[in-house]
Structures are given as structure tokens and as C-alpha cells.
Structure 1
Amino acid sequence: MGMGKRGLLAAAVTVVCAITVLAAPGTAFASMVRTPDPTPSTSATSNALPAPPPSRDLEQVREKLDGLYHDAAVATDAYNAAEEQTKAQSAQIAELTKRIAEGRQKLKTLKDQAGASARAQYRNGGMPPTAQFLLSGDPQQVVDGAGTVLNGQRATSKLITEMSRTQRQLRQYADEASAQWQKLEANRKAKAAAKKEIKQRIAGAEKLQSQLEKKERERLARLERQAAQRAQTAWLGSGVLKEVSGKASAQDRKAVAFATAQLGKPYIWGAEGPDSFDCSGLTSQAWAKAGHPIPRTSQEQWKQLPHVPVEDMRPGDLIIYFADATHVAMYIGDGRIIHAPRPGRTVTVAGAGTMPILGVVRPDA
């Protein structure tokens, strides 16, 4: 049975009025984004650096400097993580904005179609096709009109369904965009806080070193070298290197070649080339150039990449240092690494055992 005149008119009015105005996604502020685990607090380290006493113990100064630079490394990892998340969220917002624009255009087209249907009924004296069909005295018109009415009913139903679906999609896109804006703002705050922390720790280390006389700075440099040599000797003395026999893959060799080509370039926190690097900037770029992208930060490299035993490592593997995974270097064989050590230093070759090893990861496992 066909629809009554009043029922079809009501449907047409529903189509015309089913247009809603989509509110633009709002911007809200969320709490600070979680940094990748593990991320220890650096608040315990005091920014105030009392002047060393005349009979200063340079070993204590060395330990203080190590602590300051370690705290700067923790903050650098937090900064890099927030930077990566900001990039991802900005890309998602751009994609959602595109979808919202396309959805609005589609909704406008549907609205125009609904309006055209309503105007056609008005030109026919407000009599819908169903009524015209039933009141016709022409048998052929009755036959022809039956298909027209059925098609019209289907088209109207499809139009209403499509408009409803488009409106739901637009609301979903708007909600997703709003959530991404909140995360973006949180990560911007996280970056700003990490940047402030980095600058404070580096400034503290530079201030402490500036208080040393030339002879003391030279002696401090010797103490640093001696500490590294003791650690490397102890590591080699454990016999671990005797078990290391892994051979580099083609991708390993490409990564090592890239890292080697960066020797002498300065460490700059947050940098990933081409003129300067931080520790994870160097390793992530080396593996990207080898055709195997890996996470940007040392903590995420430790968290996401496959772990291998130290005795099974091979050139190209990444060694993660310290309990909080805040430093990373590339193993190049013979007990050596290439890494970007810390502010004020350059990309260099060092002993793999000169720092506390957390573990080894293999990007192309």
C-alpha cells in the first residue's frame, strides 16, 4: 500500500529539517601525558650548586656531574617522547579535519537533494507521487506510476538513512579531534617542562665545571677516563666478550656505517641529524637509513625492540644503559660502541662496558 499524502509530506519535511550544525571540535586541557616507562623522577636533584670548598674532592665533583647529565638525559627522553607524540597527534588532527570537511560537503549535498524533492512536491500542488498515482484515470499511467512511487519511497528512505549516518560520522570525527587536541596540549606542556628541566641540569653542570681551575679540569678529565677504563676492564674481565660471536646482517652493516660516518658531530639534546645528535637520535637515524625505522627514544627502543642476551649481540645491535633506559649506543664489535655521550661531547667510539648495561635490543630481529 502507498503512503498517504500527509505521511509523505511529513517525510519530505523530515528530510529538509534533518540538517544539524556540527559544532567545531573544542580545545580542552588534559593532565600531563604519561611518559614512557620507566621514567624516574628527577626532582630530587637540587638545582642549587654550592661552590666547592677549597679542598674539593674531584671524585665527588665527577659524581655530581654524572648525576646532572643523567638527569638531563632523563628529561631529554621525556622531551623526545612528547615531540614524537605531538607529531603523531598533529597528523591525526589533520586527517580528522579533512574528514570533517568532506563530511560537511556530503551533508550539504544531501540537504540540496532533500530540498529539491520538497520543491518538486510543491510544484505539483503539494500532492505527492503516491497520491497522483492513485487518483490517475489512465491505466498506463497507473502501470508506469507504480514503479515511480516505489523508487521514490526507496530514494527517500535511503536519503534519510545516509543523512543520519553522515551526521553520526561527523559527530564521531569531532569527538576524536577534540580528544586529540587535548592530548596535543598536554604534550606541548610536557615538552615545555622537559625543556626547562634539561636546560637547568646542563646549566648546573656547566656552572659546576666553571668553578674549577684549569689544572682541576684536566685532573677531572683524567678521573673520567680512568673510571671508564676501570668499568670497561671489569666488563671484559667477566669473560662476556668471549661468548660474543654474532655476525652482522646487511642491515646491521648499513646502520653501523651510518653511525660511523657521524663521528665527531656534536651532541645536542633533541637532535636527530644531520649535523648533531643525541643518543637515541643517532641510533634511530642509523636504523632508519638502514631501511628499518625504530622508536625515537632509548626507553621506547628498550620497550619495543626484541631483547637479545649480551653474549649473543652482534654489530648493529643497540645496548641500552642504566636502570631507567636513558642512554643507548650502537655495538660495533670487539667490545666497542658508537654513541653520542652527553652535552659538550661529540659522537665517539667507546668501550661497551664503560656504563652500566641494562640490556641489548636487536632492531632487525
Structure 2
Amino acid sequence: MGSHRRPVPSGFDRGAGAAVCVLSAAAAALGAVPANAAPHGDSRAEVDRLYQQAEEATQAYDKADERAVALRREVNDAQDLIARQQQRINTMREALGSLAGAQYRSGGLDPTVALLFSDDPEDYLAKASLLDRIDVRRAGQLRELQAALRELAQERSEAAGKLAELERSRKAVATHKVTVERKLAAAQHLLDTMSAADRAAFEHASRGDGRDDLPDLSGVVPPDGRAAVAIAAARAALGKPYVWGASGPSGFDCSGLMQWAYAHAGIHLPRTSQEQRYAGHQVPLSQARPGDLVVYRSDASHVAMYVGHGQVIHAPYPGAPVRYDPVGMMPVSSVTRP
């Protein structure tokens, strides 16, 4: 979902940084839409602002959800490890109990008295030597048991910490979900109050240069096989709906589309646009090649895939399907080559 503004000149425009920072500061204020009706031009700007805020919250949701999924795996692994360690401790305790019982049954008399009354002193001495070895063995097993108990306590403490972090991540997911839904609902309310002509004008403006035809990409040659596969996957997603928090195959948010497309090429990208910004080496926009990731806004809250001839494929915002748009549809923050 993009900030739907007129295209900026091609090239890496760092001079727009101050304006982008102002935009990001405005986006940080997550206020509700005023109840009083705004002029149509202001309504379009407000819808655009709400979509940007919703996308920022979507990226935060994606990150928190990804962390929650990873923590669930870690918690499950920790619980399995604890169960195996507990079983090991139980086995060690049983072995020590057997040794203690055997020693008790064999050691009822003082060793000197037992030797005097023994019918076979040599047999007694052999048994006494065995008991000494059993004592040494039991001492070693006791130390091993104590170490295992300390490990188990540490594992339980770490698992408790992961469970607490998982709960915090779940709460963050829920919070970001509410924020996204609230912003999208407010944007939809404003769209519903617009006339058909104003809604058409908003959609026209959101396409950057307003073109509805497919761009001419003839002669575009991807730089390598992986980029070619990723571009083909992104093109296959054209027309699929924007679904916040989704990474395909039936719907996508902006970073979900990039992750899904590059997964087809055997490359795992991070889940959010902020992380994808650093998933490779950065190049100037003037040197962008097909397959590069174009990251927008100073907060890196939107991402698209460059496909050549000044065009990108991206998932714009709710209600707008995956589509082509000019690379300069909004201020470019960076270009990353996975």
C-alpha cells in the first residue's frame, strides 16, 4: 500500500529526505478521522494518509507475528528438551536407588568383624573391593545427577522466559491488528462518502502517472536466473488482491509479495519491508536492475520490485490489486539487490 503521490523524477533523490521525514512524523500521529466532513481534496489526502499509517501498522504486525511463530517453535523445542531431560533424571535416580539398596544389603556388619566371621575371607575381600568401586561409581552418578538437575532448572527458566516473550508478542500482534483495522475502516468510510467522480480521481492519482495500460517491458532482460524467476512469480501475482498481513498465494501485502516471489527463486527474504531493505547490497536508483527491491519512504514502510523501463510491481493498498506502477510513484528511500 503506497503513499499515492505524483511521481518524482527518476534517480536517487536524497534531497527529498526532509519532506519524507515530515511525512513520517505526520504518519506517526495515529489519530482518528475528524467527524466533520472535509473538502474532497482533503478527503483524498486523508485516505492516502490513513493507508500509509495502516501499512506502517501492517509491517509492525508482520514483524510481531513472525516473531510469535518463531517463539512458538522455540517453546515447543524447549518443552521437548525438558521432557527428555526429566526422563534422563528419572532414569539416573532409579539407577542410584538400585545401587544404594545393594550396598545396604551387603554392608550390615563392620568390615573387620565381617572378615573375622567369614567362611571365605578371600570371597569377602573381593566383594568389599566391588563395593568400593560401587561407592566411587555412585559418587560419580550423584555428581552427574546434580549437574543434570542444574541444567533442567536452567532450561525451565529459559522456557519460562520464552513463554513470557511469546505472550508479549501475541499482545503486540493483537494491538497492531486493531490499529490496521481501525485505519482501514476510517479510510473506507471516507471513500464511501466521496462521489463516484472523486473516487475515480483518487484511484487515478494513486496510480502515479495515471496509466491504466500495461507497460511495455519488451527487451527487458533480467540480470540472472534468480531475478528472472522472482520477476516471473511477481508477474504471476498481478491482479491478486492486497490483503494486509498476507504473503500469498491468494493475496499479498507489499513485503509479503516480495518474500513470496523470491522464495520461488530459492531466496528467503525477511518478512518486513524494513528488514528487506538490508537483505542484500544497496545500489543507487539510477543503477537499478530488474529484480531489485525498491524501498519507499524514510521509514521503509513500502517495497516494490523493479522490473525495468522505470516500472515496478507491487501490492499497493486494500482494494487495489497487485499491479505495475512507475518506480517514482512515491519518494524512494533505497534500492536493494538480494
Q: When the two structures are superposed, what TM-score results if normalisation uses the length of structure 1? A: 0.77
Q: 2:137 aligns with which of 155, 164, 170?
A: 155
Structure 1's unaligned 5+ residue stretches are 1-38, 231-244
Matched with 2:331 is: 356
* Kept after mapping to 2: 8 A contact 1:133/1:145: no
- Aligned match of 1:194 in 158, 167, 176? 176
What residue ranges of structure 2 are gaps of 5+ in the alignment? 1-23, 211-219
Distance 1:181 1:279 in 2: 30
The residue aligned with 1:229 is: 209
Match of 1:179 in 2: 161
* Distance across 1 between alignment mates of 2:257 and 2:51: 18
- Of 85-94 and 281-290, more deviation after overlay is shown by 281-290
The residue identity in structure 2 corresponding to 1:175 is S
In 1, Cα distance between equivalents of 2:71 and 2:58? 20
Q: 1:145 and 1:48 mapped to 2: Cα distance?
A: 89
**Residue pair 1:133, 1:141 contacting (<8 A) in 2 also:** no
The answer for the alignment partner of 1:323 in structure 2 is 298
TM-score, normalising length: structure 2: 0.83
Q: What is the 5 A alignment of 1:1-365?
A: 44-53=29-38, 56-58=39-41, 60-126=42-108, 140-141=122-123, 144-145=126-127, 148-225=130-207, 228-229=208-209, 247-363=222-338
The alignment of Structure 1 onto Structure 2 pairs a total of residues equal to 306
Deviation at 1:61, TM superposition (A): 2.4
- The CA deviation string for residues 270-294 of structure 1, in whole angstroms up to 9 with x for no partner, is 0111110100110011111210111
Classify 1:41/1:88 alpha carbon distance in 2 versus 1 (closer, same or farther; 3 Å). Answer: farther
SS of the aligned residue for 1:354 comes to: coil
Could you say which residue in structure 2 is the equivalent of 1:7?
Answer: none
User: Which deviations, in whole Å up to 9, do the C-alpha atoms of 1:251-302 show, x marking residues without a partner?
Assistant: 1111111111111000000011111010011001111121011101101111
The RMSD of aligned alpha carbons is 2.7
Relative to 1, partners in 2 of residues 1:290 and 1:87: Cα closer, same or farther, differing over 3 Å?
A: same
Classify 1:129/1:351 alpha carbon distance in 2 versus 1 (closer, same or farther; 3 Å): farther
Determine the C-alpha separation between the residues in 1 that align with 2:278 and 2:153: 35
**CA contact 1:79–1:194 (8 Å) conserved in 2:** yes
Residues 90 and 41 of structure 1: CA distance in aligned 2, closer, same or farther (over 3 Å): farther
Q: Secondary structure at the match of 1:331?
A: strand
Seq. identity, %: 36
Q: Is the 8 A contact 1:320 1:358 kept in 2?
A: yes
What amino acid is aligned across from residue 341 of structure 1 in structure 2?
A: P
Q: Distance in 2 between the 1:129 and 1:316 partners?
A: 84
Question: Would the aligned equivalents of 1:103 and 1:170 in 2 still touch at CA under 8 Å?
Answer: yes
Q: 1:221 to 1:42 in 2, by over 3 A?
A: closer
For 1:88 and 1:253, locate their aligned partners in 2 and report how far apart those are by CA, in whole Å.
30
